Amino acid sequence: MTTSVRPTPERAAPVRRTIDDVLAQARARLTRLSPQQAYDRVRAGAVLVDIRPGEQRAREGHVEGAVPGALVVERNVLEWRFDPASEARLPQATGYDVEVLVLCSEGYTSSLAAAALQDLGLHRATDVEGGFVAWAAAGLPTRSG
């Protein structure tokens, strides 16, 4: 005998969306920045956060150490490190008005991550169009893996 779970007012049926739908919804909330715009914002005090895994940074290069104040915070802990109410927050997570610019390899994962930060109340979080690949192609500061 099999049983099925039926939707109830307390337990709605799951909404099915594609990752393209989720990405479009995330990006609709962001004011995405070109690499040059992001670099200018970092020079004015924004926090640049590279969320790529270590292996990817080793292969592609990185911004930590090349851009003053740039951080590496891998994606799996990003929300805990930037939530001002979290005991695991970074010193840079001083409040909900911090401008956090998220950088991934090509600008896809970073859009989802920036939207997640906005969900926490970090209303100035956004990402870099084209990610690290576009950053490096623009001739902005990087270091080899």
Check: pTM over 0.85? Answer yes or no.
yes
DSSP H or E run through 66: none
Contact yes or no for 103/7 (Cβ under 8 A): no
Predicted confidence (pLDDT) per residue in 110-127, tens digit:
999 999 999 999 999 999
Mean pLDDT within 55-78:
94
DSSP H or E run through 65: none
> Which of these, 33, 98, 102, lies nearest to 72 by C-alpha position?
102
pLDDT at 65: 87
Domains of the chain: 20-137 (3.40.250.10)
Reply yes or no on whether the pLDDT at 3 is more than 70. no
pLDDT at 4: 58
Predicted confidence (pLDDT) per residue in 38-66, tens digit:
999 999 999 999 999 999 999 999 999 89
Mean pLDDT within 64-86:
94
Mean pLDDT within 100-106:
97
